[in-house]
C-alpha cells in the first residue's frame, strides 16, 4: 500500500488549489468590501440622523446663520461644529480647500461643503454631506468640480439629516438615474433595497 503522494500529485493538487483561489478571491474581496461599506454607511446614517434629530429637538431647527459663503472651509467647519459635533463622536477634523472632513470612530468619515445651487443665500439644501467609507478618502476628495464629489463606491451623498430626495421615487427610476451618475439616487437605491447592494447596482464595489 502506498503511504505518500508523488511529487507530481502534490504539484497538481497545489495547482488546482491555486486556480480555485484565483477564481474565488475577487468575489471574496468584493463581498468583504460590501460588508464593510454597508456596516459603516448604516452606522453613519444612524448616528447622523440621530444628531440631526437631537439638534432639532433642542433648538427647533438647524442654525444656518454662518452659511454666508460658498466653498469656504471655515463656513463648513462652523456649520458642523454648531449643528452636529455636539451630538456625534468625532475623532479628528480637517479643513480642506473648500470644506471640512471629520473622522468617525470606525475609520469612516464625513465631508461637508457649502456649495452654490444657483444662489448664495444661506440654505441647508445647498450643503453637501458626503459619507466616506474611509476617512482618508474624505480628506482627499477632488474639490475642483462644483457637484461631482462622490463616486457611489467609496463616497456617498446625503443631505442635512435626511435621506436623499430621490428616495421618494420608485426603484426603477433611482436605478436608471444612478446609472447616469446621479449620485444621490445611488445612495437612495442602497437605502431603498434595505441597506443592500443588489446585483444590478451599477458600480462594482
Full-model pTM: 0.81
Domain boundaries, position 59: 30-162
Q: Which residues contact 95 (CB under 8 A, 6 or more apart)?
A: 73, 74, 76, 77
- Which pLDDT score is estimated for 33? 85
- Which pLDDT score is estimated for 45? 92
24 domain residue, yes or no: no
- Which pLDDT score is estimated for 22? 64
34 domain residue, yes or no: yes
- Clarify whether residues 40 and 118 are in a common domain: yes
| Mean pLDDT, all residues of the chain | 83
pLDDT per residue over 126-172, tens digit each? 688 899 999 999 998 877 655 566 889 999 988 765 666 677 778 99
The total number of structural domains that make up the chain: 2
Asked if pLDDT for residue 3 goes beyond 80, the answer is: no
- Clarify whether residues 126 and 190 are in a common domain: no
Asked if pLDDT for residue 120 goes beyond 60, the answer is: no
pLDDT per residue over 6-58, tens digit each? 766 667 777 777 676 566 666 656 778 889 899 999 999 999 999 999 999 99
- Clarify whether residues 78 and 173 are in a common domain: no
Pair 90, 77: CB distance under 8 Å: no
- Clarify whether residues 137 and 44 are in a common domain: yes
DSSP states of 78-97: HHHHHHTGGGS--SEEEE-S
Q: Coil, helix or strand for 66?
A: coil
Cell of 130: 458626503
Asked if pLDDT for residue 201 goes beyond 60, the answer is: yes
- Clarify whether residues 65 and 76 are in a common domain: yes
Tell which residue, 165, 159, 157, has the closest CA to residue 181. 157
Residue 6 CB neighbours (<10 A): 9
- Clarify whether residues 149 and 104 are in a common domain: yes
Pair 126, 159: CB distance under 8 Å: no
Tell which residue, 116, 120, 142, 117, has the closest CA to residue 130. 142
pLDDT per residue over 71-88, tens digit each? 899 999 999 999 999 999
- Clarify whether residues 68 and 168 are in a common domain: no
The alpha carbon dihedral of 127, 33, 46, 175 has a sign of positive
- Clarify whether residues 68 and 156 are in a common domain: yes
- Clarify whether residues 74 and 170 are in a common domain: no
Amino acid at each position: 500500500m502506498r503511504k505518500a503522494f508523488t511529487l507530481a500529485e502534490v504539484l497538481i493538487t497545489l495547482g488546482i488549489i491555486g486556480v480555485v483561489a484565483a477564481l474565488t478571491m475577487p468575489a471574496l474581496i468584493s463581498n468583504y468590501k460590501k460588508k464593510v461599506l454597508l456596516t459603516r454607511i448604516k452606522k453613519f446614517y444612524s448616528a447622523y440622523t440621530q444628531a440631526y434629530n437631537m439638534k432639532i429637538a433642542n433648538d427647533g431647527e438647524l442654525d444656518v446663520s454662518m452659511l454666508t459663503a460658498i466653498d469656504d472651509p471655515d463656513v463648513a467647519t462652523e456649520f458642523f461644529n454648531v449643528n452636529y459635533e455636539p451630538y456625534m463622536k468625532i475623532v479628528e477634523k480637517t479643513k480642506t480647500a473648500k470644506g471640512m472632513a471629520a473622522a468617525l470612530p470606525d475609520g469612516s468619515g464625513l465631508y461637508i461643503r457649502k456649495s452654490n445651487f444657483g444662489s448664495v443665500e444661506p440654505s441647508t439644501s445647498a450643503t453637501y454631506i458626503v459619507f466616506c467609507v474611509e476617512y482618508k478618502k474624505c480628506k482627499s476628495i477632488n474639490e475642483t468640480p462644483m457637484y461631482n464629489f462622490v463616486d457611489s463606491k467609496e463616497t456617498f451623498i446625503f443631505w442635512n439629516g435626511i435621506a436623499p430626495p430621490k428616495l421618494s421615487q420608485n426603484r426603477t427610476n433611482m436605478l436608471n438615474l444612478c446609472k447616469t451618475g446621479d449620485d444621490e439616487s445611488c445612495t437612495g437605491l442602497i437605502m431603498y433595497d434595505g441597506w443592500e447592494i443588489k446585483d444590478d447596482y451599477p458600480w462594482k464595489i
